[in-house]
């Protein structure tokens, strides 16, 4: 027990240090952690790490999916729903077919059912890897929304393909009609379970006297309950978490107060950072275990098969995404689509951002050791191919993705109002509504209560300043950078003064912390603008 705890703490410390080094070297975190784990695994004396697939599916997957669903824009998800569904389901199935037929034709003794099993394992791209790589490059908001939406749903499709293919291998029979019906049932009922449990949590948040801490704890419990309930009935736990997370996120303004939202954001950021870091470094540490179990094949044969399958999934994804773009142009003549002329630049980037990760490895590891009392056929080779696919797509595609983006120079599919301008417009509209409400409903108080009158004057002043700020943003955009630099410098001066005031007895610590949080939010908005 003590050794396990010590290993967990050591891994967390290693993740923290490696993330800092990776950020200093400007290498995307998932890539740096996987490579670092790979290097560390070959150091003599390092204990061998074997990942329990149940640990990944039950402990890691629900919160990671829920966090991604919570911060996914429902508006963007719904707008790009057609291409998201096509990529998440159509591309997964298309990739599974391609892998199945190529692997069964090339690998001796590899059946079509085993090919579909392998295809279901390696078909879904990893959400965290793509998001981490895209964070530091300029890419259209539409492409980011499509990739995030695809990554939310494609795990469900791949796991269902994996489940039916595994059943086919074990039973030596496969019925297409039964598989297709089961696929739809498992997916649909997973959504139903997620929405039902999401509705229960909505009622708890909405009508029971929950505190901030209880609300945050409930948000942490929700994904596990959704996932376990759906899996207990043999439905899609992934779709349950995604659908329930999207529903509760869309109602967060109703069910959570401001404190729960602010504190919950910080909590989830820390939890997902720790879980993602652990998962990716564990992927690297797992390699020696996989290589040592590779019996019946030479390393050269295994590497050749793995690189061939990796090439198949990369080419398949590229062909599918570019073809989908041309199909969208054609079908847009007859039905309404989000973008009638998506072009070729965005689809190429979306196609190249197909990096595999944790779900693929966990699926491969969950293949049983025995089939009817005999060793499961080609299990070790499937594990090795999966690891090579993850390594090559993550490192090769991940490191080259920024170069591809700069080479292609993608254009945004939509013309977006700059974020600063959007904020000023919204703030101005809110101030106008608030002022009208104040004047219409509190006319007597305005004349008798000096504090209410001061509130009105302050809101009028804010409205005037916001209007001037908006005019400047629209007419003199070259000064925005200089303005942000000056504002950052002023915040730093205020922070120094706040630090000095902290030592004064007359100021309470919680007041100091409130002001510090306000400045932190302001600086965060300046230093990390969205693309």
20-37 tens-digit pLDDT: 888 788 777 777 888 888
Looking at the domain assignment, is residue 383 inside a domain? Answer: yes
Task: Examine the fold and report which residue of 356, 382, 408 is the final residue of a domain before the chain moves on.
Answer: 408
- Span 319-335, pLDDT tens digits: 998 887 776 665 555 55
In a shared domain, residues 467 and 511: no
Do both 129 and 245 map to the same domain?
A: yes
For residues 469 and 513, membership in a common domain is answered with: no
For residues 385 and 494, membership in a common domain is answered with no
Residue 85 resides in a domain: yes
The domain containing residue 16 runs over which residues? 2-408
Domain boundary among 378, 408, 438: 408
With respect to residue 413, please indicate whether it lies within any of the assigned structural domains.
no
Is the domain of 401 the same as that of 506? no
Residue 57 in any domain: the answer is yes
At 130 the pLDDT is 66
- On whether the CB atoms of residues 511 and 504 are closer than 8 A, the answer is no
490 and 395 together in one domain: no
pLDDT tier at 221, thresholds 50, 70, 90: very high
Residue 100 lies in a domain: yes
This prediction has a pTM of 0.77
**pLDDT per position as a tens digit, 280-318:** 787 777 777 777 777 667 778 888 999 999 999 999 999
Higher pLDDT, 68 or 245: 245
Task: Give residue 515's pLDDT band: very low, low, confident or very high (50, 70, 90).
Answer: confident
Contact 112, 29 (CB under 8 A): no
Given pLDDT bands bounded at 50, 70 and 90, which one contains residue 412? Answer: low
- Above 50 in pLDDT, residue 428? yes
In a domain, 414, yes or no: no
Residue 415 confidence (pLDDT)? 57
For residue range 247-262, what is the model confidence (pLDDT) as tens digits? Answer: 998 888 788 887 787 7
Same domain, 527 and 423: no
CATH assignment at residue 140:
1.20.1530.20
Same domain, 332 and 439: no
- Residue 370 host element (H or E): strand 370-371
Given the structure tokens 């790490």, which residue do they identify? 49
Distance between CA atoms of residues 289 and 398, nearest Å: 25
Q: 360 and 434: one domain?
A: no
| Three-state SS at 16 | helix
Residues 335 and 389 in one domain: yes
- Confidence at 531, pLDDT banded by 50, 70, 90: very low
- Predicted local distance difference test score (pLDDT) of residue 134: 67
The domain boundary residue, chosen from 388, 408, 428: 408
User: Is 16 part of a structural domain of the chain?
Assistant: yes
CB atoms within 10 A of CB 411: 10
What local confidence, expressed as pLDDT, does residue 328 receive? 67
Identify whether residues 249 and 150 lie together within a single domain. Answer: yes
In terms of Cβ atoms closer than 10 Å to its own Cβ (0-12, 13-18, 19+), residue 90 is middle
Please indicate, yes or no, whether residues 357 and 464 belong to a single structural domain of this protein: no
Q: How many domains does the chain have?
A: 3
Section 242-246 average pLDDT: 91
The residue that leads in pLDDT, 354 or 244, is 244
User: Does position 414 have pLDDT exceeding 70, yes or no?
Assistant: no
């Amino acid at each position: 027990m003590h050794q396990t705890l010590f290993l967990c703490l050591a891994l967390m410390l290693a993740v923290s240090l490696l993330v800092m080094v990776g950020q200093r070297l400007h290498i995307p975190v998932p890539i740096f952690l996987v490579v670092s784990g790979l290097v560390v695994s070959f150091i003599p004396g390092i204990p061998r790490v074997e990942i329990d697939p149940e640990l990944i599916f039950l402990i890691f997957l629900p919160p990671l999916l829920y966090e991604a669903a919570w911060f996914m824009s429902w508006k963007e998800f719904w707008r790009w729903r057609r291409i998201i569904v096509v990529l998440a389901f159509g591309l997964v199935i298309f990739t599974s077919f391609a892998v199945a037929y190529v692997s069964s034709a090339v690998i001796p003794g590899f059946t079509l059912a085993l090919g579909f099993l392998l295809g279901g394992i390696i078909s879904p791209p990893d959400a965290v890897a793509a998001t981490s790589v895209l964070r530091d490059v300029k890419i259209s908001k539409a492409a980011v929304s499509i990739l995030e939406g695809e990554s939310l749903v494609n795990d469900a499709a791949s796991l269902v393909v994996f489940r039916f293919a595994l059943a086919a291998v074990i039973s030596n029979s496969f019925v297409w009609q039964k598989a297709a019906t089961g696929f739809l049932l498992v997916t649909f009922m997973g959504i139903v379970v997620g929405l039902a449990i999401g509705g229960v949590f909505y009622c708890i948040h909405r009508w029971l006297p929950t505190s901030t801490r209880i609300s945050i704890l409930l948000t942490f419990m929700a994904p596990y309950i959704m996932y376990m309930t759906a899996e207990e009935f043999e439905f899609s736990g992934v779709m349950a978490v995604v659908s329930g997370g999207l529903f509760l996120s869309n109602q967060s303004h109703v069910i959570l107060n401001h404190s729960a939202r602010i504190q919950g954001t910080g909590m989830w950021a820390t939890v997902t950072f720790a879980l993602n870091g652990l998962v990716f470094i564990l992927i690297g540490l797992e390699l020696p275990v996989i290589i040592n179990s590779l019996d019946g094949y030479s390393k050269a044969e295994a590497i050749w098969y793995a690189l061939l399958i990796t090439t198949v999934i990369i080419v398949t994804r590229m062909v599918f995404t570019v073809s989908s773009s041309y199909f969208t142009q054609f079908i847009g003549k007859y039905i309404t689509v989000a973008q009638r002329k998506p072009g070729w630049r965005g689809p190429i980037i979306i196609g190249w951002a197909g990096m595999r990760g944790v779900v693929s490895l966990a699926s491969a590891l969950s293949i049983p050791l025995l089939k009817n009392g005999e060793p499961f056929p080609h299990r070790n080779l499937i594990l090795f191919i999966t690891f090579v696919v993850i390594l090559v797509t993550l490192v090769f595609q991940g490191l080259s993705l920024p170069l591809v983006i700069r080479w292609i120079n993608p254009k945004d599919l939509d013309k977006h109002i700059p974020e600063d301008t959007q904020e000023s417009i919204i703030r101005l509209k809110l101030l106008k509504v608030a002022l009208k409400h104040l004047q219409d409903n509190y006319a007597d108080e305005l004349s008798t209560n000096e504090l209410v009158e001061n509130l009105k004057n302050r809101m009028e002043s804010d409205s005037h300043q916001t209007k001037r700020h908006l005019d400047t943003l629209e007419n003199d955009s070259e000064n925005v950078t200089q303005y942000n630099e000056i504002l950052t410098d002023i915040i730093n001066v205020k922070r120094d003064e706040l630090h000095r005031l902290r030592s004064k007895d007359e100021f309470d610590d919680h007041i100091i912390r409130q002001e510090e949080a306000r400045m932190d939010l302001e600086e965060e908005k300046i230093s990390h603008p969205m693309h």
